[in-house]
Amino acid sequence: MRVGRPEERPEIVVVPHTHWDREWYLPFQRFRLRLVSLLDGVIDGMEADPRWHFTLDGQMAAVDDYLEIRPERRERLAALVREGRLAVGPWQILHDEFLCSGENIVRNLELGMRRAEELGAAMMVGYLPDQFGHCAQTPQILRLAGIEHACLWRGVPDRVRTRSFAWESPDGTAIRTQYLPEGGYGNAASMFEEFGEFGNGASLLPGRAAGFAASMGRWYPDGGPLLAMYGADHTAPAPDLADRVASAELGMRLDTLAGYFAGEEPSVDGLPRIRGELRSHARANILPGVLSARVRLKQMMGRAERLVERYAEPLAALWYSGDAQRFLDLAWRRLIEASCHDSVTGCGSDETAEQVAAHMAEAEQLGRAVCDLVTAEQAAAVPLGSHLVFNPTPAARTGLVVLDVPCDGEPGLATGDGRPVPVQTLDVAPTVLDDAVHPASALPILLERVYGRVLFGQEIRDWSVSREDRTLTFHVTARATVPFDIGDVRDALRGADGEWRVRILADPRRTVAALVDVPALGLATVRPVAPAGPAEGPVRAEGNVLGNGLLSAEVRDDGDLVLRTPSGGVVEGVGRIVDGGDLGDSYNHAPPATDTIIGDPRTVAVRTVSEGPLVAALDIVRTYRWPASGDVPGDARSEAAEDVTVTTRAELRAGEPFVRLRVTFDNRCDDHRVRLHLPLPRQADTSFAEGQFAITERGLTAEGGFGERPVPTFPASGFVAAGGLAVLLEHATEYEVTGGGRELALTLLRSVGYLSRDRNAYRDQPAGPQLPTPGAQCRGERTVGLAVMPYPGERPGADVLRAAETYRHDLLTAAGYGQAAAPAPPSREGIAITGDGVVMTSLRTRDGGIETRMVAQCAEPTTAVLHGDFTEGTRVDLRGRPGVPLDVHDGTAALALRPWEIATVRLRAS
């Protein structure tokens, strides 16, 4: 585009804004102090000058955080929103798209739009200014919420050469997307910096505007106004900005981002099309090291999301007579806050990380509290000594649960329907908990150990005092039903003298593994019965070999595993632990120039944990000597070293075609990265990673071009698969296919000591302040769980999806406390959702019905079949607005789905 005289130049639309990192190198409350001051000034300035417009970073969290301190200003702020001069929303927070679940992204948008509309209007632009790349299904998510424009910066590939492109989800949904070139969300920040005059009185602004137009013009071959984003991190615009723009007479105007897009057609016709995720390093840093910084945060997020999404919400929707919605709303608020792109990422200060962990812990606690609430209501009808079992998956399944059962010998169990339940004893609890002699003067103090009726963690069901042999005996059990008063015991001991024997005896009980059939999203009861005979099952541990008929795992002399399938498939060397140096920071891994790689253990021992017949496990104990820290001046690792013991528990369960691994070690070292290596059965050219409503196929390299090393480390949430081997995951995990496609490496831990280093070998520019973060060294005991599953063919199919679903969502149990003689309730089904490649992501109560969301995780059209106690069904969008009704017959409805389509359905009973 030619840039000539002012009257020939394109219009420049200046969008004043601030990019507000809610918590980062400072913790939330310290940043909020600045936010309040900034917004006080913005609101006062906008009220005084109607020319002013302002965009509040696409996230409602800044508004909520402000109004919590300034509630009296709510109406003043809302008036500016209603006038269209202050743009708020549509997100609640600017999330990291790869480190939270797809459902978290949807709830984030849902909450942000609702809160923005309460103030007057949500900005209908999918503004994503600073996320470290973008997940594949974002275009479909935005369109399902009624948003027709996206606007972003990082992750855009080199082949995008114009400011607009059609960003397409795997299902084919495309959204017109505005790329922010030449500086991202601050591409016009320098235009108004240090505003002044030359000696002859000429303004600096015309020259800067001309330079901006010349630089940006090449991105606008179709013409149209230039988008000038005037703002930066935690900054306010110049207070006389409106006067400068008006006096310059340069074809510039102030507007919001929403106002800019009001003149843009949403059509994607004729635009270059980019399909799937945006994770290119070509035009901006995407800072991939955040995937593995502070792994504990990723673990906490995964655990809390699962508990709320797949346990608490479905339980409350299907099996609770009360209302737990306020607790669930609060849990979601905490999850959404923690998903922020400077929060779950772990790239903030140690104070920030502690606060983020607290939010995640609160979300998990709220989810667990709702589960307790619902299961307590249901367990009231389950006899004492029996157990309630909940299946969080939408298909009937047989799964292993661990129960404490009262018995004095081999136990027998059956369901409430009378079906026998296979059982394996894991542990026998002691019956003598304490037996000691005390002087009578100490008895009153000993009785203070009784809390209510609880003693040694169990309830007192009976007691006796024998003055003849001076013995006080308590009988305790898991749950007692007879009355108890500690005052009666004191009375019985009144006047006691001499020495007394005090015994605490527990009822006989065992910890057992039980293989239970449970209906889809349903409940089953497991009750004690007379044992039918010796426990039988397919699982065995013999020496260094585990087997369950579907898979065998043999421990080699070096501690690695050999996996064998019934079809003759063999995978050698699974589970090698490799430690290497890391002189990077929380944003980018950077090994030292002279690295020391430790992959061979010094010693190996194998211990049998359980032998079957339902579950068998071995502990593989390996010792290593790892360098104690990094040597930054020498660009190497230290000569000093630490002895580290790494224990890998390998476990096979009945009916599971995968081996569960749990790796535990005490991290006593700094500045290093620990990875788990798994050789692939076949050389791979691509990998497949599940996450955020899609399975993303990736090559073995990453596109570079900016000032950052394009490392091929990628995120996965549910599983990662390559070359015939799938790894099932508990949380978002960083992986890399190495060795020319012959091996998969998963990051278990990355220890770094700085938020950002000014000199990072893998990144040209600082990513933040050079702030020490000793907490990011992640010292102490670390445990990571996953499972390994060989599969046939190149692409993972429905069998891998099913395995990932069951691995991540164990059956939930609760002890019954009803009348011991009452019959056990029969099994009851909730709602079943079946179909090849169909995955349920949520089920909740909404607007008087039950809403469920599912996605077709497959490359071919499929059909979801829903069955349950409902008579009406309607497709709805992500905002709950009704669409096409379903054809429901006898509580069953079929829903045709495109490949990778996200579908939300509202179900009602007449």
Tens of pLDDT, residues 3-50: 445 556 789 999 999 999 999 999 999 999 999 999 999 999 999 999
- The two structure tokens encoding residue 770: 């050079």
Give Rg (Cα) of the chain.
Answer: 31
HSE (side-chain half, CA atoms, 13 Å) at 471: 13
For 18, residues 6+ apart whose C-beta sits below 8 A from its C-beta are 38, 56, 57, 231, 232, 233, 234, 235, 236, 237
pLDDT < 70 regions, the chain: 1-8, 194-202
Cα separation, 860 vs 709, in Å, equals 36
Cα separation, 798 vs 796, in Å, equals 7
- Rounded to 10 degrees, the C-alpha dihedral 347/353/355/356 comes to 60
pLDDT of res. 6: 52
Do residues 106 and 142 lie in contact, with contact meaning Cβ atoms separated by under 8 Å?
no
pLDDT of res. 206: 83
Query: Which amino acid type is present at position 646?
Result: V
Residue 16's Cβ-count burial label (10 Å; 0-12, 13-18, 19+) is: buried
pLDDT of res. 824: 93
Beta strand segments in 558-602, E: 561-564, 570-574, 576-581
The residue behind tokens 């035009």 is: 283
pLDDT of res. 285: 96
Q: Which runs of consecutive H residues, i.e. helices, occur in 662-712? A: none
The CA distances from residue 104 to 111, 332, 463, in Å, are 10, 8, 52
Q: Are strands 54-55 and 86-87 parallel, antiparallel or unpaired?
A: parallel
Do residues 877 and 347 lie in contact, with contact meaning Cβ atoms separated by under 8 Å?
no
Cα separation, 853 vs 180, in Å, equals 33
Q: At what angle do helices 350-379 and 295-306 cross, to 10 degrees?
A: 20
Nearest residue to 136 (alpha-carbon basis) of 698, 660, 622, 553 = 698
Tens of pLDDT, residues 766-796: 999 999 999 999 999 999 999 999 999 889 9
- The two structure tokens encoding residue 360: 């995640």
Cα separation, 165 vs 445, in Å, equals 76
Cα separation, 253 vs 249, in Å, equals 9
Instruction: Please enumerate, as own/partner, the contacts of 621-625 that have beta carbons within 8 Å and a separation of 24 or more.
Output: 621/645, 621/646, 621/647, 622/559, 622/577, 622/646, 622/647, 622/648, 624/577, 624/579, 624/598, 625/598
- The two structure tokens encoding residue 491: 């009375």
Query: Which amino acid type is present at position 3?
Result: V
